[in-house]
Every structure is written in C-alpha cells, then in structure tokens.
Amino acid sequence: MKPPRFAYHAPDSVEEALALLERYGGDARVLAGGQSLVPMLNFRLVTPAALVDLRRIASLAYVREEGRHVAIGGMTRQRAAERSPVVATRLPLMTEALRWVGHLPTRSRGTVGGSIAHADPSAELPAVFLALDGEAVAIGPAGRRTIAAADFFQSFFTTALAPTEVLTEVRFAAMPAGAGHAVEEFARRKGDFAIVGIAAVVAQAGGRAAHVRLVAFGASGTPLRLAAAEAALADGPLDRAALARAAEAARGEVDPVADNNASADYRRHLVGVLVERAAARAAGIALPQEPAHV
C-alpha cells in the first residue's frame, strides 16, 4: 500500500520543528527514524497532514554521562546506543534490550527517542525506560518540561507528549552498582515484536533484594510495572520460592488483550514464566536445566 498525501518538512533546528508543529495545529507527526511510523503510514493507520523529520538536527544525537546520570538525545540511533560504552557500563539493561530490537538495519535507522515516543506496548525501549525510572525532556511552545516515565505512557501508542512538543532527550540514573539485569521475551520469530516480554533489574544486599524492577511489555496497552511481583521478591530471601511467588503475583497483575498472535490466557501464562526467568537471571539464581514451557 501507499501512504496518503502529506507535506514533508526537514527542519534544521528544534525551534524550526516546533514552529512547523504549531503551524499544523496538531495535525503533523514527528518523524524520528521512521521504522514504526512509515509502516503505519503505508497501511493508512495514521493520516497526518504533514511529517516533520528531525534527521537534520544533529544536536539531538548524543550519549552523555552527566554525574550519576546518562542523557541520551532523542535522535540517537539505537545502534549507537547499543554500541555505547557509557550505556553498557551505566545502563546495561538497555544494551541487552537493544539486541532484541528488530534487526540490524532497524536499529541502524530507528532512534531511542522515537521508540519511546511511539509507545508501542510490545517494544523493548519503552519497557526499559520505565524499568530504569527514566525521564523524558520535551520542548514545546510553553518551553521545556520533564516527564517521569511513570507518567509518560497513557494508552496504546499514546503518551503525555502534546502534539506540538518534541521529545529532545531521555535521562536515566545509573543502575545500582552490582545490580543484575535481564530481558526475556517470547516472539514467533527473531526480530518480531514480543508477544510478551519482561525487563528485570535486581540489586541484592545480604541475600535479599534491595532494589527490584520488573516491567512487562506486550501484556497491556502500555509497559506495565509489576509492583506486586517486585514486592514478592523483596519479601524474604532471594530463592526459587521467591521466584515462584513473584511469577504468581505477576500473573495476577496483568489483564492482557487477545489478538491473532495470542489469547489473553496465553499472554498471562507467559508473563509468569518470563518473570521467573528474568528475575532468576537478574538475581543470579540457577533454575532447573529443563526449560519452562511457554
């Protein structure tokens, strides 16, 4: 299929991009790599009056270590973040997650900010953004504002960004020293969007969980932090019994949708299986050699 007719703009600055978004009064879409938006245009799932392509704004592509934080420009290519020593050292969960994203050409064109702003509920980077308590920096007509990850995702492909705002940067506190991490997901083929996935971070102190983050993706309309499963891991020694409690709690926290890829019950089952796997790997707990059935 072919996309509908639209005006195309490639501004040279954020200020010019904001002026264009205001000109179209909310009927323009920001293009920040196009690996998700272009297919949606081709299927006519979105029909904007204009595209505002940010590819010429070189100032929006960077990875910077700023004290205990890592700042990533909205137009940083996913492949650049995947290969960044700063990301690997400070945000290793993101490095692992990026290896699950599509294929190499996808990551070479797609951007970190574009994936998070697109808010596909089955995508890895929005889940990492939530698991690492990130912040989005947005600039619009009213100026600059910061949006916490917990407040950013609202529904399917919907965020707290206004139509006239540009996501210019995402910020993360460095992961706790010594924290383990894991991304586990199930898809029909390598490179496909996850039917269900889990991003996990576990830091330990004295055999107990001092810091736990478990986020499910593909299981609801947004990435979902699994607070009850986190509490189950933190409530006592980190062992296989705790993993089983966390898996059971996670199944009770999700209300998945059914589609052509999986039933709601199957997605709920996958959440439990993958929580156990991801939390075990993040905590360094060996599971039986016989893999759990998915």
pLDDT at 266: 97
Contact by Cβ (8 Å): 196, 277: no
Can you give the pTM of this predicted structure?
0.94
pLDDT digits (tens, 9 = 90+) for 178-199: 999 999 999 988 878 899 999 9
pLDDT at 128: 98
Q: Domain coordinates of the chain in residue numbers?
A: 7-53, 58-173, 180-283
What interhelical angle do 227-234 and 264-283 show, nearest 10?
Answer: 40
Contact by Cβ (8 Å): 242, 230: no
pLDDT at 293: 53
pLDDT at 4: 83
What confidence tier does 141 reach under pLDDT thresholds 50, 70, 90? very high
For the ranges 2-16, 118-132, 233-247, 280-294, the lowest mean pLDDT is seen at: 280-294
Domain spanning 180-283, CATH class:
alpha beta
Contacts for 213 with CB less than 8 Å, ≥ 6 apart: 131, 132, 133, 199, 200, 201, 225, 230
Please check whether the domain covering 7-53 is classified as CATH 3.40.190.10.
no
pLDDT at 294: 56
Mean pLDDT, range 113-130, rounded to an integer: 96
Residue 290 has pLDDT above 70, yes or no: no
Contact by Cβ (8 Å): 27, 106: no
Domain spanning 58-173, CATH class:
alpha beta
Residue 64 to residue 87: CA distance in whole angstroms? 9
pLDDT at 289: 65
Residue 87 to residue 71: CA distance in whole angstroms? 10
